[in-house]
Amino acid sequence: MTFDDLFPNLAAWAELGYELHINHPQSKALIQGVVDGSPVYQSPPDTRDLQQALTLADAALGEWLDENEDD
């Protein structure tokens, strides 16, 4: 399976040119979804497992895309 298969919303996020920060030094979140320099999603601070963090981010950023992007 590819990354796109496992995390289709994160793949779409990247294709749209949005940023995905992983373990950014200025954040306690393992993953952040960033639009125009501002985080619109941050994984829970106690999430240290990358697979779990990516799964949570895929779901949350998929919802954000549904609400904020035109098809």
Would the pTM count as exceeding 0.85? yes
Residue-wise pLDDT for 13-29, tens only, equals: 999 999 999 998 888 89
Burial 18-40 (b: 16+ CB within 10 A, else e): bebbeebeebebbbbbbbeeeee
Residue-wise pLDDT for 29-54, tens only, equals: 999 999 999 999 999 989 989 999 99
